[in-house]
Amino acid sequence: MVITTTTRSDSEASVHCTFASRYVRTALPKFKMPENSIPKEAAYQIINDELMLDGNPRLNLASFVTTWMEPECDKLMMDSVNKNYVDMDEYPVTTELQNRCVNMIAHLFNAPIGEDATAVGVGTVGSSEAIMLAGLAFKRKWQNKRKAEGKPFDKPNIVTGANVQVCWEKFARYFEVELKEVKLSKGYYVMDPKKAVEMVDENTICVAAILGSTLTGEFEDVKLLNDLLTKKSKETGWDTPIHVDAASGGFIAPFLYPELVWDFRLPLVKSINVSGHKYGLVYPGVGWVVWRSKEDLPEELIFHINYLGADQPTFTLNFSKGSSQIIAQYYQFIRLGFEGYRDIMRNCMENAKVLSKGLEEMGRFEILSKDIGVPLVAVSLNDSSKHTVFEISESMKRFGWIIPAYTMPADAEDVTVLRVVIREDFSRSLAERLLSDFEKVLKEIDELPSRLSNKVAHVIATVEELKGREERENLVKKQKTVKETQEHVARYWRRLVDRKTSGVC
């Protein structure tokens, strides 16, 4: 009998046992593409192992972005992951689903259209793209009006609060529009409508109101803004419109606060954006922007292409994008309906209240978030003279929690905040666990020496060298007050953290 022996190559052997192969003895390429291929199993295992060092998305309480969907929706998304949405002629059903989503959102926001009328809107990669498109529409419409009147059109501006998400700063910088920000104040962390209207001039293309500030979750008073702008427009003839950035609150207010008037029921509201990947309950990234009417979207911004098989109107910043998130949004709309969204938002808000009450009962925090708004809890320490919210944020990571700490924008920079965002997949049990871990961290840092004491003492000593004896005594006395110490600590930490507004689109 002859026995034939087959020798497997290292490549073949590694398919069956990645960790016995040479691939785990070689560092992964970081700058140049490797010369040779490796088995798919080895590539998967090595990359998957490195990804284990990422945080757990479910415990990422910094983000508003959806981290859980039903398995049936996951399957729909995977089945359509290879569809390029822009090929509308090849994928007409996907295009139809997008149009249905736009219509549903427009009716949810009380757009003045008939029951069977087609709404004006588009799906975007996120609220950032949606805001860019809305801003471009406002800019072009303002320019056209100024040109027709024979007036200068080279200095457009937008009025917002200092609490806006960074995408507004991007729009202003990228598209050469001045951003006029209403400063905040301690205890008032949203745009003041009265101050905003005072900043409006003939070059203002729109006032941007936020329905759900990323800082505290609070809704801005869009109705008051509409009334004040209406009065000013009668006096000046400027007809300044409103855009509502409802990235976070657009899928909350209609279900929890239907009596709140903030949307197209107000005549000056011309466009609204909302994030499908936040409380729209879809994985990132998908956003939506809806206009009040066709007249509010200049026709010259819409491109018509035909080289994909048919005439296709498009108004986007990018061209190609996936279809999965659009299909997932439609799934959520028909799967949950108004009833399902309402129940989920109620659960989120109830869990936020439980967490807020638990933190308040610890006696260490001031609650900055409001009962009406996005379901999140924002707190600051009553006393930051020894330890700070930044230390708490770092310590909570040991338990797996990702909780952001940040400073407020101008003119409330001395206020430092911890923020916990409550999403659909954050249960009452997790809220109780989070409170328990907060208590452990607070107890631990109380037993540690202040990380700031040496730094504060050094600053005082340095200043004392430059001051006279009487001034030194006054400075030391002043520094000993709790308020001044907290403000000093906040200034110190601000040099160590990114001063950009927190938030994800």
Burial class (CB in 10 A: 0-12, 13-18, 19+), 184: buried
User: Does residue 19 sit in the same domain as residue 108?
Assistant: no
> Of the candidates 307, 335, 363, which is a domain's last residue?
335
Residue 67 and residue 426 in contact, taking contact as beta carbons nearer than 8 Å: no
In sequence order, the β-bridge partners of residue 242 are 207, 269
3-state secondary structure 68-109: CCCHHHHHHHHHCCCCECCCCCCCHHHHHHHHHHHHHHHHHC
User: Does residue 355 sit in the same domain as residue 322?
Assistant: no
Cα separation, 190 vs 278, in Å, equals: 20
Residue 168 and residue 179 in contact, taking contact as beta carbons nearer than 8 Å: yes
Higher per-residue pLDDT: 497 or 80 = 80
pLDDT at 459: 45
Taking residues 154-176, what's their average pLDDT?
96
Range with the poorest average pLDDT among 15-29, 30-44, 54-68, 443-457: 443-457
Q: What is the pLDDT of residues 223-255, one digit of tens each?
A: 999 999 999 999 999 999 999 999 999 999 999
Neighbours of 262 (CB within 10 A): 27
User: Does residue 180 sit in the same domain as residue 257?
Assistant: yes
CB half-sphere exposure, 225, CA atoms < 13 A: 32
Is a pLDDT exceeding 50 seen at residue 4? no
Q: What is the pLDDT of residues 296-350, one digit of tens each?
A: 999 999 887 665 555 567 888 888 889 999 999 999 999 999 999 999 999 999 9
Range with the poorest average pLDDT among 33-47, 95-109, 165-179, 358-372: 33-47
User: Does residue 412 sit in the same domain as residue 329?
Assistant: no
Higher per-residue pLDDT: 375 or 318 = 375
User: Does residue 360 sit in the same domain as residue 330?
Assistant: no
Query: Domain range holding 327?
Result: 76-335
User: Does residue 266 sit in the same domain as residue 381?
Assistant: no
Q: What is the DSSP letter of 202?
A: T
User: Does residue 355 sit in the same domain as residue 331?
Assistant: no
- 61 to 58, 68, 123, 361, 426: CA distances (angstroms): 8, 13, 26, 21, 9
Does 495 fall in a domain? no
> Of the candidates 308, 335, 362, which is a domain's last residue?
335
User: Does residue 177 sit in the same domain as residue 291?
Assistant: yes
Does 503 fall in a domain? no
User: Does residue 46 sit in the same domain as residue 88?
Assistant: no
Cα separation, 505 vs 482, in Å, equals: 37
Task: Indicate the SS3 state at residue 244.
Answer: strand
Does 461 fall in a domain? no
Reported as type and span, the H/E element at residue 436 is: helix 428-446
User: Does residue 128 sit in the same domain as residue 193?
Assistant: yes
User: Does residue 193 sit in the same domain as residue 322?
Assistant: yes
Residue 109 and residue 263 in contact, taking contact as beta carbons nearer than 8 Å: yes
Domain count, the chain: 3
CB half-sphere exposure, 312, CA atoms < 13 A: 19
Which residues make Cβ contacts (< 8 Å) with residue 175, sequence separation at least 6?
132, 135, 136, 139
Cα separation, 137 vs 483, in Å, equals: 46
User: Does residue 226 sit in the same domain as residue 305?
Assistant: yes
327: left (phi over 0), alpha (psi -120 to 50) or beta: alpha
Does 490 fall in a domain? no
CATH classification at residue 47: 4.10.280.50
Strand 157-161 relative to strand 178-182, pairing: parallel
